[in-house]
Structure 1
Amino acid sequence: MSSLFAVTTAQSSSSCQSALLSLSPCLNFISGKATTPSSSCCTQLSSVVNSEPQCLCALLSGDVGSGLGISINKTQALELPTVCKVQTASISQCNSKFLQKNSEI
């Protein structure tokens, strides 16, 4: 996972970088390797929703992993807030300009 952090650090100067890195406990779930997210994933998701909710657009779009060689299961990424019981805004409210700007995270 340290290589993931190095690649992410090198590719992104986004203010969302640390918020998305804090969601690393969710990788197994959003990549389809786990059927349920860990409690630490849900805790971190709640924290990001409270502090940097706009950063979830990149995660929920499923585009975060493409630049890193990580296959993100978009269905599971979209289900993460529901499974973790974390209230978020609708993904339809994500700004497409924001998503394009951060697609290389």
Structure 2
Amino acid sequence: MRGGSHHLRLPAAWKMSHPFRVHPTEKWNYPFARPEVVDERVTITGELCTPNDVLVSDEHVERLRAGDVVVFDYAGAYAWTISHHEFLSHPQPDFVYIDEA
């Protein structure tokens, strides 16, 4: 996953699976088949070079494809504020606010 515990520290710090949802995207610009899992249990990890960069452990997904967006609703105050920003010079994430109205 692009991103990890340097953006969302709570799951790794508390050894928990953070609630998430998959936002499917149709864009796929590669000449090879798009990897996917259907009706499977997954572990979602970040990009850091540590085995502690785990955001979700052994949770069910209906479908998850390379390139889909994993949304961590309810991140709260202990997401960004306790994260180790710019770990190994990784970029900071974009903040996206969605107004469902």
TM-score (norm 1): 0.25
Higher RCO (CA < 8 A, seq sep 6+): 2
Structure number with bigger Rg = 2
| Larger relative strand fraction | 2
| Larger relative helix fraction | 1
